[in-house]
């Protein structure tokens, strides 16, 4: 019997996919032209994203520049295959482009703009190549063979926009307007979640150099009036906000006592972690939870940038955002989801710069909504009550109010939590200023329209006066904060407005009495607050607002704690040099042990002799002007760009 000519070869330890071999062949350090057969095979094989990422990420910026021949060939050929529209090569080409662009554009080049151009197209060909690239993406997004292929083209556009944001390449997307194609994709979408990618891309493009030139996407947002597409976008925003909020709940379940866990998790889209769905994992330790919270919100929070832009530019979007109700009553409305996310963002805003950017974006959006009289009417209306899950992950907790609530009261709770949970010596004066501004805008609307809301007003008074106490105690640490005086001015004005106009929006005398009593308790703090922040203010509205608070405090102090001769002799305030009495410390207040009924009676009598002369202008406030917050919006946009790049990576 003759010996077989076949020989047995040893089995390799690992099998390498063919596409990985082609990646390694392509990025060898030579300038060899690859055959047509090589490229046909390259784009007929399913891409291995992780291996391509690993290979490209392992290249230094200089290595990448030295391989510019290969990178340019890959980029131009992938564009050609995507444009041909032949499955599955077109889809594979788009996936390859996403990986290629996120890796190549994330490198720190010495000369970012020119080096990126060199890697992708070369200085001589850049105009032709990038214009063709944007044109191909536009056509696929508009008329691609399927929604999935069109979505992949949008992801490629996100990869290019977010990766090249600091270069001139993004300007090619402003030269060719993608807005109609993106809106056509939104209109053709089957589910609200499919709206996420085009909406995210619009946010990135609308913020590109928008303060330096007339951004065409901003103009498009202003003029957009397609109702069905707007409704789809609002639903998508609501789902995204709910998902982002659920990320916080997954770290620490803060379900209020008395709520049914299973039904609540299903209601808020967390069916996968209900009891019985899987074995309950051990909760994280305090240190683990701290690290997990610091990493939140998830990268999808970049959608808040586009949400802000649409709210600021488009009245129709704001209308549907506030008014839209879900078809199924067991689901959250989009605005409920947005408010819920805002609540979690505010309680955790202090954890990182990134968290504070998104917390501030949510406050920007909310401020714009409450400044619109039509929308504010809905937010303050009894007819628009909703259930909103608010964050209860950090003490102190606000009183739990079950069931549907007026949206304005929900907003007050969020603002109180903002003020309560971010106190630190390196105070974020911006976030505090926005919270005070939103409270003032809601209260002035309630006052003007004589709307009386049932609410735990004592919590609001306590929070505002505690904030005043903090600002006074740590005045030295806060003196270098260039926005601290804007905050102290607005806080003084808000408190003076509550004192002078509370009878127009408070539901009962007890809420008003409580405010006056708390002013008496805080009298020494108010006096010191004036000395620290308004000592040099003459004929100033804000200083006059503080004087109003002091006069009310002094008036009721005299009635409550000096009506008995001996007590008066014991606790009488010592006069200041200018003859004005200074309220004394709290221990003297406890001396008489007045019952709540007696306090109410004395304060009620005190109204007859009280003379409040608040300064003019407490109910007037400046409408939102984007240019006043240019720096903050640019920083928030860079944060959203970084998150978008990581999402497509």
Question: Does residue 554 have a pLDDT over 90?
Answer: no
Nearest to 31 by CA among 59, 61, 72: 72
Percent of the chain with pLDDT over 70: 84
The predicted structure's pLDDT at residue 595:
66
Non-local (6+) Cβ contacts of 138 within 8 A are 176, 178, 181
pLDDT (tens digit per residue) in 386-421? 999 999 999 999 999 988 999 999 999 999 999 999
CA distance 199 to 236: 9
pLDDT (tens digit per residue) in 375-384? 999 999 999 9
Cα atoms in the Cβ-side hemisphere of radius 13 Å centred on 44: 6
Enter the tokens of residue 106.
């994330």
Question: Does residue 339 have a pLDDT over 80?
Answer: yes
Question: Does residue 207 have a pLDDT over 80?
Answer: yes
pTM: 0.89
Non-local (6+) Cβ contacts of 403 within 8 A are 387
183 and 224 Cβ atoms separated by less than 8 Å: yes
Alpha-helix runs per DSSP H in 45-146: 49-57, 61-66, 68-84, 89-105, 112-120, 126-143
Tokens 């009721």, residue located:
556
CA distance 498 to 464: 11
Question: For the purposes of burial, counting CB atoms within 10 Å of the CB of 134, is it exposed (0-12), middle (13-18) or buried (19 or more)?
Answer: buried
Enter the tokens of residue 637.
């946009």
Give 529 or 567, the one with higher predicted confidence: 529
Question: For the purposes of burial, counting CB atoms within 10 Å of the CB of 123, is it exposed (0-12), middle (13-18) or buried (19 or more)?
Answer: exposed
CA distances from 619 to 389, 409, 447, 601 (A): 31, 20, 9, 30
Confidence of residue 431 (pLDDT cuts 50, 70, 90): very high
**Average pLDDT rounded to a whole number, residues 420-449:** 95
The predicted structure's pLDDT at residue 9:
55
CA distance 304 to 302: 5
Question: Does residue 453 have a pLDDT over 50?
Answer: yes
CA distance 375 to 553: 36
Average predicted confidence (pLDDT) for the chain: 87
Dihedral of the CA atoms 353, 356, 360, 366 (nearest 10)? 150
Give 539 or 421, the one with higher predicted confidence: 421
Percent of the chain with pLDDT over 90: 68
The predicted structure's pLDDT at residue 369:
98
The predicted structure's pLDDT at residue 596:
64
The predicted structure's pLDDT at residue 608:
61
pLDDT (tens digit per residue) in 295-326? 999 999 999 999 999 999 999 999 999 999 98
72 and 119 Cβ atoms separated by less than 8 Å: yes
Question: Does residue 533 have a pLDDT over 70?
Answer: yes
191 and 179 Cβ atoms separated by less than 8 Å: no
Adjacent-strand bridge partners of 600? none
The predicted structure's pLDDT at residue 379:
97
Question: Does residue 574 have a pLDDT over 60?
Answer: no
CA distance 444 to 369: 14
pLDDT (tens digit per residue) in 594-613? 666 666 677 666 666 666 66
pLDDT (tens digit per residue) in 254-278? 876 555 444 444 444 444 444 444 4
* Four-residue CA torsion sign, 77, 81, 82, 84: positive
Tokens 């309220």, residue located:
583
């Amino acid at each position: 019997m003759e010996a077989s000519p076949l020989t047995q070869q040893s089995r390799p330890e690992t099998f390498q996919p063919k596409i990985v071999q082609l990646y390694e062949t392509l990025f060898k350090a030579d300038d060899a032209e690859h055959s047509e057969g090589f490229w046909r095979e390259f784009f007929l094989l399913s891409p291995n994203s992780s291996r391509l990422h690993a290979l490209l990420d392992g290249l230094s910026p200089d290595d990448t520049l030295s391989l510019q021949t290969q990178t340019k060939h890959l980029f131009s050929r992938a564009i050609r295959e995507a444009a041909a529209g032949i499955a599955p090569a077109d889809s594979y080409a788009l996936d390859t482009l996403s990986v290629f662009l996120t890796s190549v554009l994330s490198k720190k080049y010495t000369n970012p703009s020119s080096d990126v151009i060199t890697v992708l197209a070369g200085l001589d060909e850049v105009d032709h190549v990038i214009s063709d690239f944007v044109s191909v993406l536009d056509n696929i997004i508009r008329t691609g063979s399927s929604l999935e292929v069109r979505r992949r083209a949008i992801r490629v556009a996100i990869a290019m926009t977010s990766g090249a944001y600091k270069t001139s390449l993004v300007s090619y997307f402003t030269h060719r307007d993608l807005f109609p194609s993106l809106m056509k994709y939104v209109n053709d979408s089957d589910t609200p979640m499919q709206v996420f990618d085009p909406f995210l891309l619009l946010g990135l493009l609308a913020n590109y150099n928008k303060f330096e030139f007339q951004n065409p996407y901003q103009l498009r947002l202003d003029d957009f009036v397609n109702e069905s597409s707007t409704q789809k976008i609002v639903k998508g925003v609501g789902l995204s906000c709910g998902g982002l909020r659920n990320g916080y709940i997954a770290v620490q379940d803060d379900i209020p006592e008395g709520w049914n866990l299973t039904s609540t998790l299903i209601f808020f889209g967390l069916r996968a972690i209900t009891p019985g769905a899987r074995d309950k994992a051990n909760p994280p330790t305090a240190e683990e939870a701290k690290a997990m919270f610091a990493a939140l919100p998830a990268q999808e929070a970049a959608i808040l940038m586009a949400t802000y832009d649409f709210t600021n530019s488009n009245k129709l979007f704001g209308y549907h955002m506030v008014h839209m109700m879900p078809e199924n009553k067991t689901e959250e409305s989009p605005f409920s989801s947005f408010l819920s996310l805002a609540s979690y963002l505010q309680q955790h805003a202090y954890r990182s710069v990134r968290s504070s950017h998104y917390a501030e974006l949510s406050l920007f959006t909310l401020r714009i909504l409450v400044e619109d009289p039509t929308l504010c009417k809905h937010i303050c209306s009894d007819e628009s009550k909703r259930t909103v899950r608010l964050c209860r992950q950090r003490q102190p907790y606000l009183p739990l109010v079950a069931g549907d609530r007026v949206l304005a009261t929900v907003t007050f709770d969020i603002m109180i939590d903002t003020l309560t949970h971010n106190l630190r010596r390196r105070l974020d004066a911006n976030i505090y200023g926005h919270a005070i501004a939103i409270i003032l805008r809601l209260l002035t609307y309630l006052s003007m329209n004589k709307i009386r809301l049932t609410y735990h007003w004592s919590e609001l008074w306590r929070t505002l006066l505690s904030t005043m106490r903090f600002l006074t105690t740590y005045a030295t640490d806060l003196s270098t904060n260039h926005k601290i005086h804007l905050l102290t001015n607005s806080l003084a004005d808000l408190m003076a407005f509550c004192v002078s106009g509370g009878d127009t929006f408070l539901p009962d005398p007890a809420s008003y009495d409580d405010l006056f009593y708390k002013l008496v308790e805080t009298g020494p703090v108010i006096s010191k607050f004036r000395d620290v922040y308004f000592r040099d203010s003459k004929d100033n509205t804000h200083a006059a607002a503080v004087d109003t608070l002091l006069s009310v405090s002094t008036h009721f102090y005299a009635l409550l704690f000096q009506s008995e001769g001996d007590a008066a002799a014991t606790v009488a305030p010592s006069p200041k040099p200018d003859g004005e009495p200074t309220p004394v410390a709290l221990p003297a207040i406890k001396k008489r042990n007045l019952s709540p009924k007696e306090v109410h009676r004395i304060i009620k009598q005190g109204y007859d002799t009280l003379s409040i002369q608040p300064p003019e202008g407490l109910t007037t406030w400046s409408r939102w002007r984007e240019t006043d917050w240019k720096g903050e919006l640019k920083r928030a946009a860079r944060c959203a760009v970084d998150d978008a790049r990581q999402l497509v990576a």
